[in-house]
């Protein structure tokens, strides 16, 4: 047994989260793509069958009340809240991340007021966030200014209305300084909007603690909600009565069944609701979130850092020098839960890795991404992935 393999065995033996692996549907593949689509929690199929056969099939329309369908967006939001450091009553689940980015950004501009005519957006953001930021700025008559997260403090001024940032860079896995950036945005009198897609469920976020104004995120990555599972929107308690949604649907009306001709927003986070919730996906997500029962996010973060440290060490041990370059910061304070390796023939390398049972993903033109989901990835998985990568690279 190699030295890294021996270390992996010892690390797995003392892993406090190891038992969580049995709560997922897994095979002998090393699955390192949970930063794109989380593995299936074992409780989900049975729950979905009950939703379809009994709640829909037998109770039918009665399930809006008797099965709690109507309150699901807020109820499931409260399940997510501890994972992102939020008190109850501030998160509503529904729609896609893209739609929630639009709602949050337009509402942020409206809250900032007419005197502020510039919106800052993360220049390295996932493309959709950039597209939506451009559209939101155009619709609200603001100017969009792309800047890197590091440039935000110096770019802020009394014209800044809102700032849209990613907590973790989707390409490199770089973790941005949410506390310091949020404080700078607040100090400039602007409204902060954070995209948590690559951090929620992987590391502590601290939305309430750090005074974040608005946040959005998906649930199909580290939260394992399933393909296309509904996203969520966080509205800080102190801003809820000022949250003016650009998509005022009947589900967020103060009297949703009053069928009024004029719109009057309800109270609380439900102002972020729009139309009828996607119940099948919503309740699959609710079942998926049960794997988090009794799991401190801090323990997940500790294992995440240990996994990514070990992977980088194994890569250095096994892979020929100069064959790959890590784009992911070594400093723990700057690292999410993925490792991105630059490799000239990355697309072909990833195809060969997948053929050999190591699943990550490829980002053009030359990036191999490996996501480490601490609830079901072990240290032996990490050692195997690095060893197979070395064999593929020759």
Describe the chain by its helix, strand, coil percentages, rounded to 5: 45, 15, 40
Please, are residues 230 and 277 in contact by the beta-carbon 8 Å criterion? yes
**Taking Cα atoms as reference points, which of 115, 121, 116, 129 lies closest to residue 151?**
121
Instruction: Give me the pLDDT at residue 335, please.
Output: 98
Q: Which H or E run contains 24?
A: strand 24-25
Instruction: Give me the pLDDT at residue 249, please.
Output: 96
> With b meaning 16 or more CB within 10 Å and e meaning fewer, what string describes 11-22?
bbeebebbebbe
Separation in Å, CA 335 to CA 246, 297, 302: 34, 16, 12
Catalytic residue among 170, 220, 222, 379: 220
Catalytic residue among 303, 369, 384, 387: 369
Six token digits for residue 222 = 């580290």
Catalytic residue among 221, 271, 303, 387: 221
CA distance 265 to 253: 5
How many CB atoms are located within 10 Å of the residue 312 CB? 18
How many residues in total does the chain contain? 394
Which burial class, exposed, middle or buried, applies to 244 when counting CB atoms under 10 A from its CB (0-12, 13-18, 19+)?
Answer: middle
DSSP assignment of 293-334, as one string?
A: TT--HHHHHHHHHHHHHHHHHHHHHHSPTTS-EE-S-SSGGG
Instruction: Give me the pLDDT at residue 1, please.
Output: 77
CA distance 124 to 363: 14
Instruction: Give me the pLDDT at residue 23, please.
Output: 98
Told to judge if 369 belongs to the known catalytic residues of this protein, a careful annotator would answer yes
Is pTM beyond 0.85? Reply is yes
Told to judge if 220 belongs to the known catalytic residues of this protein, a careful annotator would answer yes
Edge to edge, the sheet with strand 325-326 lists 325-326, 338-342, 367-371, 361-363
* Average pLDDT score over the chain: 97
CA distance 312 to 304: 12
Task: Report phi then psi at 295, rounded to 5.
Answer: -105, 115
The SS3 of residue 1 is: coil
**Taking Cα atoms as reference points, which of 171, 161, 173 lies closest to residue 136?**
161
Told to judge if 131 belongs to the known catalytic residues of this protein, a careful annotator would answer no
Instruction: Give me the pLDDT at residue 283, please.
Output: 98
Which burial class, exposed, middle or buried, applies to 105 when counting CB atoms under 10 A from its CB (0-12, 13-18, 19+)?
Answer: buried
Instruction: Give me the pLDDT at residue 394, please.
Output: 86
Told to judge if 129 belongs to the known catalytic residues of this protein, a careful annotator would answer no
pLDDT in tens, the chain (394 residues): 789 999 999 999 999 999 999 999 999 999 999 999 999 999 999 999 999 999 999 999 999 999 999 999 999 999 999 999 999 999 999 999 999 999 999 999 999 988 999 999 999 999 999 999 999 999 999 999 999 999 999 999 999 999 999 999 999 999 999 999 999 999 999 999 999 999 999 999 999 999 999 999 999 999 999 999 999 999 999 999 999 999 999 999 999 999 999 999 999 999 999 999 999 999 999 999 999 999 999 999 999 999 999 999 999 999 999 999 999 999 999 999 999 999 999 999 999 999 999 999 999 999 999 999 999 999 999 999 999 999 999 8
Please, are residues 94 and 230 in contact by the beta-carbon 8 Å criterion? yes
CA distance 15 to 278: 37
pLDDT tens digits for range 203-257: 999 999 999 999 999 999 999 999 999 999 999 999 999 999 999 999 999 999 9
DSSP assignment of 122-178, as one string?
A: ETTS-HHHHHHHHHHHHHHT-EEEEE-GGGHHHH--TTEEEEEEESB-TTT-BBP-H
Catalytic residue among 33, 95, 195, 213: 195
Percent of the chain at pLDDT above 70?
Answer: 100
Told to judge if 103 belongs to the known catalytic residues of this protein, a careful annotator would answer no
- Supply the DSSP symbol for 253: B
Instruction: Give me the pLDDT at residue 130, please.
Output: 97
Helix intervals (H) in the chain? 3-13, 44-50, 63-66, 72-80, 97-112, 127-140, 152-155, 178-187, 279-288, 297-318, 346-355, 379-393
Catalytic residue among 126, 170, 234, 376: 126
Please, are residues 4 and 313 in contact by the beta-carbon 8 Å criterion? yes
């Amino acid at each position: 047994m190699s030295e890294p393999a021996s270390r992996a065995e010892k690390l797995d033996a003392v892993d406090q989260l190891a038992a969580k692996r049995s709560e997922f549907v897994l095979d002998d593949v090393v699955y390192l793509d949970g930063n794109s689509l989380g593995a299936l929690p074992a409780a989900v199929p049975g729950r979905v069958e009950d939703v379809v056969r009994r709640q829909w099939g037998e109770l039918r329309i009665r399930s809006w009340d008797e099965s709690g369908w109507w309150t699901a967006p807020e109820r499931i939001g409260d399940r997510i809240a501890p994972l992102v450091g939020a008190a109850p009553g501030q998160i509503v689940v529904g729609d896609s991340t893209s739609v929630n980015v639009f709602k949050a950004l337009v509402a942020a501009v409206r809250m900032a007021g007419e005197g502020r005519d510039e919106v800052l957006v993360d220049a390295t953001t996932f493309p959709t966030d950039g597209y939506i930021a451009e559209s939101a700025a155009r619709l609200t008559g603001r100017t969009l200014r792309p800047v890197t997260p590091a440039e935000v403090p110096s770019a802020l001024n009394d014209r800044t209305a809102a700032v849209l940032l990613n907590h973790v860079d989707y390409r490199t896995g770089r973790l941005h300084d949410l506390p310091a950036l949020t404080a700078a945005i607040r100090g400039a009198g602007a409204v902060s909007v954070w995209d948590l897609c690559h951090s929620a469920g992987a590391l502590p976020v601290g939305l309430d603690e750090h005074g974040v104004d608005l946040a959005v995120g998906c649930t199909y990555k580290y939260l394992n909600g399933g393909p296309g599972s509904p996203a969520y929107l966080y509205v800080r308690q102190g801003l809820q009565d000022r949250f003016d949604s650009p998509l005022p649907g009947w589900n967020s009306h103060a009297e949703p069944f009053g069928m009024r001709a004029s719109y009057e927003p309800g109270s609380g986070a439900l102002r972020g609701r729009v139309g009828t919730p996607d119940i099948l996906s919503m309740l699959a997500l609710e079942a998926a979130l049960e794997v988090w029962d009794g799991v401190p996010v801090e323990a997940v973060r500790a294992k995440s850092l240990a996994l990514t440290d070990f992977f980088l060490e194994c890569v250095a041990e096994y892979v020929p020098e100069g064959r790959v370059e890590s784009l992911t910061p070594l400093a723990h304070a700057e690292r999410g839960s993925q490792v991105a390796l630059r490799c000239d023939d990355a697309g072909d390398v990833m195809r060969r890795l997948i053929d050999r049972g190591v699943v990550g993903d490829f980002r053009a033109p030359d990036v191999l991404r490996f996501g480490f989901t601490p609830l079901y990835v072990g240290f032996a998985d990490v050692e195997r992935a690095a060893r197979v990568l070395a064999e593929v690279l020759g």
